[in-house]
Chains A and B, each alone.
Chain A
Amino acid sequence: MDASSPAPLSGVTAHPGPQGLQGDGPLRAAAPRQNLFTKYMVATTLVVCLLLAATNGTHLYLSTMRSVAQIEALQRSEASATAVSIGHAIEEIVDEMRWVSLPTAAEGPGELEARRLDFVKLLRQVPAIAEISWYGIDGTQRLRVSRVAIDHMNPGTQARSQPFPFESAVGKPYYGPVHFRGGSEPYMNIAVRLPSGAVVVVELNLNFIGDLVQAVKIGNAGVAFVTDARGMLIAHPDATLVLRRTNLAPTREFTDSLAADGPPKRERGLRHVFVDGLQGQPVLASRAKVDPLGWSVFVELPREEVLAPLYRAIYADLGVLLAALLVSVLAGFLLARRMVRPIRALQVGAAAIGAGQLDHRIDVRTGDEIEALASDFNLMTQRLRDSYATLEQKVAQRTAEVSDQRAVAERADRAKTRFLAAASHDLRQPMHALNLYLGALSMQQLTEPGRRVLVNVRQCAAAMSSLLEALLDISRLDADAMDLKVHDFRLADLLARLEVEFLPQARAKGLRLRVAKSSAWVRSDEAVVERIMRNLVTNAIRHSQSGTVLVGCRHVGQLLRLAVYDQGPGIPDDQRELIFEEFYQLANPERDRTKGLGLGLSIVKRLASLLDASVALKSVVGRGTMFGLDLARAAPPTGNARSANRAEPEPTSIRDALVVVVDDDGMVLKATRELLVQWGCHVLACTSAPEALAALASCPQPPNLLICDYRLPGADDGMAVVEKIREEFNLPIPALIVTGDVLPEQLDQLQALDVTVLHKPVSDGMLRQCVERMLGA
């Protein structure tokens, strides 16, 4: 998503897309932040538990309300039944009063005696009656029978205060207010006006109502009790509450007489069902009215007991909920595992495929979309694997083709190299012989035209020799035949040789060659450096038409630069890279082979890189060119190191020197011999070592110089010949090995043997110089 887009929704950030689609980060699956398994499990468990809790909660509430209503109904019926039985008990007493007040047979004073007996019987019959009195029509007390006081039979005694309204209706009992004897025991007066106008009054001990309510059993702690119309407690299973004169008016409604018997006033909800009980604890209360008295019967059950089934149900439901939780967790676990497992397998498989394991197969057998997805994955992987296989096959094929082509090319290259080496060698022999013959010829007295021809022939031979040299170098480089022998050497010798070699050519072309003197020492391979310099000087002479070719050296930083200056046409800037390529020649479109093959600078470049030295080039078109080779400087050795290094032979005149020449090539042998004889040497020419030894056996003096071809027929090579002759005379006779071979190990041997090596073809001049130097002349 780009930076200018609005803030992403949280859901989007919470679930980032595949990592592979994002710019940064490695291509791998993102680790999920939330576990699918846990999510499934929690969701399942939550759903099950919520459903259960909701169901159970509803069920609990409804069943509790129902149970409360049932208890309430039971309580009401108990209260009503108690009220009815209290009413009955009172009515029975009233009936007894009526019965005992029936007229007696006796008249006058006997009537009272008879009535007294009846009253005593009533006291026996009804223990609750504490006292019974008889009032005459005039309102005077005629008779009183008591359990405590002595019986009263005193007609005419006016009751000072009657415990009842005397004018009450006939037949309808009067219920006096509840009074508490001694301030404690509840009593009540009942008066009945008889048809005769007399009134019978009883004082009733209300204790017996306590026995009635004690019989009411509601639950374990449920109680029934009775109050009068004022709320005074008159009967309770715990009699002490009555004796203490408990008044319920503060906690119950007693002014509203209609409240009793009707359905209980309460709002919905458990909180409003309960009222304060006698002991202050909340109770479920029901109430019924005692009909004729205005009393109330209460039946109460403590809230704890009412709700006990609810609590039990809650505990049971909690247990069920817990079990359900366990079951749902288990179910969620199994379900989630069932769901998640194939998805996990998919995830793992996708990750494996992503990691490149294309042989991975996702094994999901759920028979649903996930299996379809898995098989799609597998199909995709299969296709990927197939295309991979095809691709690899093609790559292998191409690689094989390329390597075949390369092998062919390498074979061709090796063939070329072999050809070049062989050709160089084979060409070298006649070239070498030609040089020697030309040298010998130049010693002859020739006519002027003959001399001119000879000069021309020699030029042709020199050009050919140079071409051959270049080819040889290239072939040696191609054959990796160059082996560096790095050591400290002084430049003076090398410069001197260059001057000797190139002065004639320069003069012949009308150029001046100046070689500056130097006493500097460098560390490098002397032979390679010399070859580079010869190429550079040859190049300079070849491309200069006039002026001077200067060879010298100068310090460049820590290095010493061997430089060749010419005043030739110069090299354009755009050609400076090209001139180092093989067979590239400036200003030689006609490919004049007297101007060389165009290999010179390419050889220089390759040799310099072999030396790890750099070739400097400065050129101004029309003014001239400078080529420089930068070499590491070395300190000149102390003392006469050079003389110790190389033993100078006794100075021997080239004339009369005894030179042994060993060469299997008859042409070369003859040419060499011819040339040496021309130079005034005594020559012992042999084709092999045994022949040479045999010839030397008759020779009175040791030879002054050995000139040997390297490659000889038979077991011995040039080295062996030199060694044998030196052994024969037990003298370090100077030896010159002339070879057409270029193998490095042979060069090693040659150098170890302290011999001078010349590579064929060798010009007569070079051979002369070399011989002269070796003979110390």
Chain B
Amino acid sequence: MTMLSMGGLGLAAVPLRARAGSVPKIGILFAGVARRSPTLPGFYERLRELGRVPDQSTQIVLASADGDYARLAPLARELVASRPDVMLCASTPAVIAGMQATRTIPIVMVAVGDPIQQQFATSFAHPDRNVTGPTLLNTALVWKELEALKDLLPKAVTVAAVSNPANPQNGRVLREFEAAASALALQVLPVLAATPEELEAGLKSITRSRPDALMVLPDPFLKAARDRIIDFANRSALPSFFTDAKDVAAGGLLAYGVDVRQEYRRAAEYVDRILRGAKPADLPIQQPSHYELTINAATARRLRLTIPVLLQVRADRIFE
């Protein structure tokens, strides 16, 4: 597969063997770094399973903001100008940019926290706009995550919350996080970072503040910077909490959330149905039915932490 990401501001059209017009065109607006995304391949994988081979029976135009959300709006406009049959918008900022660029081209959202709150749709059963797709519905999960944090670190007092202010959904999650933290008698140290520089500054502030734990809120930019954060946390002997099991596999301590790669697979099914003629307004928004708790036992050992029995029972996967 020749997948060309959007370098710079330019939109590189994907050359196709098939004739234009007869081949459906899928535009992808990616807020994070598409080429490094561990979840986007799930989309292609499912597409292929549904008989849509990228660059052969399906044309794909990929626009990646590489974590710079300011680029999302112009990318969305360029993407719309290329007249795709359907657009995949990954993450809340991308959906917002996509919806600003078009009200007619169907948009399949993915990795979106709360489409109703963000007014992407009027209801789960009948979205009634040009946006539909699976939703993570993970805002409330921070409660469960903080509960696990408390189980794992009963003496913890402060927890740093790394959040991207450029992501509106992060604001909501942060508020929910603060509410849950106060319920669990924890103090929150918000660390806001929308750029790598801000992130470095934030990490420095964490070093100065020395909280008991570090929580990374779900955001494409922060996802792209995941390795840096994990490295920082582990070197700083900070227990790190994520929402994606992949982050735990990469060295994070614990994650509770939806299998995002699975969500990308479900998004591919939405795209397929829309290309077969379904209207997005008629496709209900799927809620996740399964959340998984993952723990990295090696990281825990390095941090000299003992995983309590309850968490061992609760954990779906424990990485060694």
B283 at the interface (CB under 8 A from A): yes
A148 engages B291 (CB within 8 Å): yes
Encoded as 1 (CB less than 8 Å from any A CB) or 0, chain B from 180 to 200 comes to 100110000000000000000
Please, how many angstroms separate the alpha-carbon atoms of A120 and B141 in the complex? 16
User: Which residues of A have CB within 8 Å of B229?
Assistant: none
A120 engages B314 (CB within 8 Å): yes
A183 engages B310 (CB within 8 Å): no
B124 at the interface (CB under 8 A from A): yes
Please, how many angstroms separate the alpha-carbon atoms of A151 and B125 in the complex? 29
A185 engages B287 (CB within 8 Å): yes
Contact of A151 among B147, B183, B273 (CB under 8 A): B147
Of all chain B residues, which has the CB nearest A113?
B310
B126 engages A244 (CB within 8 Å): yes
B144 at the interface (CB under 8 A from A): yes
Please, how many angstroms separate the alpha-carbon atoms of A240 and B282 in the complex? 8
Encoded as 1 (CB less than 8 Å from any A CB) or 0, chain B from 282 to 320 comes to 111111011100000000000000000110011010000
Among residues 107 to 125 in chain B, which have CB atoms less than 8 Å away from a CB atom of chain A? Answer: 116, 123-125
Among residues 151 to 195 in chain A, which have CB atoms less than 8 Å away from a CB atom of chain B? Answer: 151, 180-185
Of all chain A residues, which has the CB nearest B266?
A239
Q: Report the minimum CB–CB distance from B49 to chain A (whole Å).
A: 16
A243 engages B284 (CB within 8 Å): yes
User: Which residues of B have CB within 8 Å of A181?
Assistant: 287
A117 engages B309 (CB within 8 Å): yes
Among residues 183 to 240 in chain B, which have CB atoms less than 8 Å away from a CB atom of chain A? Answer: 183-184
Q: Report the minimum CB–CB distance from B287 to chain A (whole Å).
A: 5
A184-B284 in contact given A148-B291, A149-B144, A150-B143 (Cβ < 8 Å) = yes
A184-B309 in contact given A120-B314, A150-B144 (Cβ < 8 Å) = no
B140 at the interface (CB under 8 A from A): yes
B289 engages A207 (CB within 8 Å): yes
A150 engages B147 (CB within 8 Å): yes
User: Which residues of A have CB within 8 Å of B314?
Assistant: 120, 123-124
User: Which residues of A have CB within 8 Å of B316?
Assistant: 124
A303 at the interface (CB under 8 A from B): no
Among residues 88 to 104 in chain B, which have CB atoms less than 8 Å away from a CB atom of chain A? Answer: none
Of all chain B residues, which has the CB nearest A147?
B291
A184-B313 in contact given A147-B291, A148-B141, A244-B125 (Cβ < 8 Å) = no
Of all chain B residues, which has the CB nearest A182?
B124
Q: Report the minimum CB–CB distance from B263 to chain A (whole Å).
A: 14
User: Which residues of B have CB within 8 Å of A180?
Assistant: 125
Contact of B124 among A121, A130, A149, A184 (CB under 8 A): A184
A184-B291 in contact given A150-B180, A243-B285 (Cβ < 8 Å) = no
Please, how many angstroms separate the alpha-carbon atoms of A331 and B287 in the complex? 72
User: Which residues of A have CB within 8 Å of B309?
Assistant: 117
Please, how many angstroms separate the alpha-carbon atoms of A151 and B311 in the complex? 13
User: Which residues of B have CB within 8 Å of A239?
Assistant: 286
A622 at the interface (CB under 8 A from B): no
Please, how many angstroms separate the alpha-carbon atoms of A116 and B309 in the complex? 11
Contact of B123 among A147, A150, A184 (CB under 8 A): A184
User: Which residues of B have CB within 8 Å of A120?
Assistant: 310, 313-314
Q: Report the minimum CB–CB distance from A416 to chain B (whole Å).
A: 125
Q: How many residues of B contact A (CB 8 A)?
A: 30
Interface SS of A by simple majority:
mixed
Of all chain B residues, which has the CB nearest A145?
B314
Encoded as 1 (CB less than 8 Å from any B CB) or 0, chain A from 176 to 219 comes to 00001111110000000000000000000101000000000000
User: Which residues of A have CB within 8 Å of B289?
Assistant: 127, 130, 185, 205, 207
Q: Report the minimum CB–CB distance from B14 to chain A (whole Å).
A: 29
B123 engages A121 (CB within 8 Å): no
A711 at the interface (CB under 8 A from B): no
B313 engages A117 (CB within 8 Å): yes
Q: Report the minimum CB–CB distance from A715 to chain B (whole Å).
A: 132
A595 at the interface (CB under 8 A from B): no
A514 at the interface (CB under 8 A from B): no
Please, how many angstroms separate the alpha-carbon atoms of A151 and B143 in the complex? 10
A458 at the interface (CB under 8 A from B): no
User: Which residues of A have CB within 8 Å of B287?
Assistant: 181-182, 184-185
Encoded as 1 (CB less than 8 Å from any B CB) or 0, chain A from 226 to 244 comes to 0000000000000110011
Of all chain A residues, which has the CB nearest B148?
A150
A98 at the interface (CB under 8 A from B): no
Q: Report the minimum CB–CB distance from A663 to chain B (whole Å).
A: 142
B284 engages A116 (CB within 8 Å): no
B144 engages A183 (CB within 8 Å): no
Please, how many angstroms separate the alpha-carbon atoms of A151 and B314 in the complex? 12
User: Which residues of A have CB within 8 Å of B282?
Assistant: 240, 244
Please, how many angstroms separate the alpha-carbon atoms of A127 and B289 in the complex? 8
A183 engages B123 (CB within 8 Å): yes
Of all chain A residues, which has the CB nearest B139?
A148
Q: Report the minimum CB–CB distance from B317 to chain A (whole Å).
A: 11
Please, how many angstroms separate the alpha-carbon atoms of A194 and B137 in the complex? 34
Please, how many angstroms separate the alpha-carbon atoms of A95 and B290 in the complex? 22
User: Which residues of B have CB within 8 Å of A185?
Assistant: 124, 287, 289
A385 at the interface (CB under 8 A from B): no
Please, how many angstroms separate the alpha-carbon atoms of A534 and B197 in the complex? 178
User: Which residues of A have CB within 8 Å of B146?
Assistant: 150
Please, how many angstroms separate the alpha-carbon atoms of A68 and B80 in the complex? 51
User: Which residues of A have CB within 8 Å of B290?
Assistant: 127
A245 at the interface (CB under 8 A from B): yes
User: Which residues of A have CB within 8 Å of B124?
Assistant: 182-185, 243
A244 engages B284 (CB within 8 Å): yes
* Extra inter-chain contacts (16) besides given A240-B273, A243-B124, CB under 8 Å: A117-B309, A117-B310, A120-B310, A120-B314, A148-B144, A149-B140, A150-B146, A150-B184, A182-B116, A182-B123, A184-B123, A185-B289, A207-B289, A243-B125, A243-B285, A244-B125
Q: Which 6 A-B pairs have the closest CB atoms?
A: A243-B284, A184-B124, A150-B147, A184-B125, A182-B124, A150-B143
What are 14 pairs between A and B in contact, CB < 8 Å?
Answer: A116-B310, A117-B310, A117-B313, A120-B310, A147-B291, A148-B141, A148-B143, A150-B144, A182-B116, A182-B287, A184-B285, A205-B289, A207-B289, A243-B125
Residues of A at under 8 Å CB distance from B?
116-117, 120-121, 123-124, 127, 130, 146-151, 180-185, 205, 207, 239-240, 243-245
